[in-house]
Amino acid sequence: MDVAVIDAGGANLGSVCYALERLGAVPRIVRDADALAGAVRIVLPGVGAARPAMRALRKGGFDIALRDSEIPLLGICLGMQLLFEHSEEGDTACLGLLPGVVRRMLPGPGVRVPHMGWNRLRPLREDPLLAGIEDGAFAYFVHGYAVLPDAHAIAGCRHGDVFSAVVRRANVAGAQFHPERSATCGARILRNFVGVPA
């Protein structure tokens, strides 16, 4: 199982690769679109800010390649946000693989931003990516921007307002949380994505 892990400047490449290796996948870090050849899955991790991450993706030719690709793609944290059309973070045009705008999360009574720590997933509709994930399963989040749930949200989470925690449209999927840091729940999401039997 050849999994291309895109380097967009995020700091979590090693932990994502290790989590994939534990499932029996063979991850390899790629820094330009030509290196996607032969991959059967693509993972776009992200820790950092939207503008420099998109700059790195454009420099590597990923912005065009991912729009043309039919290989299943999973965006993680910032990587999920980059799948959408636009981010308020740095007023950044993103990949446009999913419709919608990534918006700054708003603090409030008992609601700190950024959203950091464990929180519960709430499935919104059935999807193979969520197979084996129970309502209320805990996942680990670190983010200050989010996308409101829409037709492509398959799981939500509440931190003040409800936001999209897992999204999918055809071969494009995203997890706002960090599956590589989310214990059993995160491992199951990755297993479902790469298609490795449990």
| Catalytic (active-site) positions | 77, 178, 180
Give the closest residue to 82 by CA, choosing from 113, 115, 55, 110: 55
Q: Which helix (H) or strand (E) holds 56?
A: helix 50-59
Residues 6+ apart with CB under 8 A from 156: 121, 122, 124, 149, 162, 163, 164, 165
Q: Are 147 and 167 spatial neighbours (Cβ–Cβ below 8 Å)?
A: yes
Strand partners, 28: 4
CA-CA distance, 159 to 145, in Å (whole number)? 11
